[in-house]
Amino acid sequence: MNGNWNDYKTSLFLPKKAIERQLRPIYGARLAVSSRTDSGVHAIVNTAHVDLTHPYVNTVYKPAFITQSVNAYLSRNDHEIRH
């Protein structure tokens, strides 16, 4: 991780860390979000895209599993999730 990824307070760092810790994709996670993440801006109703390569050949991550895994990680680490 480099650049903004070093700032653990950004709304980009935590989901990326959650994806990499929970799903363990081969090449890490390439994450892009649809809005700005300036200091003091709340990440409400954002859309994200993530590129992942599953460790097992011909296996894909299901979107619901990705969402559930990220939300579980964030909840366990005291980060509020709103639905």
Range of the domain at 40: 13-77
On whether residue 7 sits in a domain, the answer given is: no
Tens digits of per-residue pLDDT, 16-71?
888 999 999 999 888 887 766 566 666 566 778 889 999 999 999 998 999 889 88
Quote the pLDDT of residue 60: 92
Split at pLDDT 50, 70, 90, the class of 1 is very low
On whether residue 1 sits in a domain, the answer given is: no
Cβ-contact 25, 55 below 8 angstroms: yes
What are the backbone dihedrals phi and psi of residue 11, each rounded to the nearest 5 degrees, phi first? -75, -5
Domain count, the chain: 1
Give the pair of three-digit tokens for residue 37: 């993440």
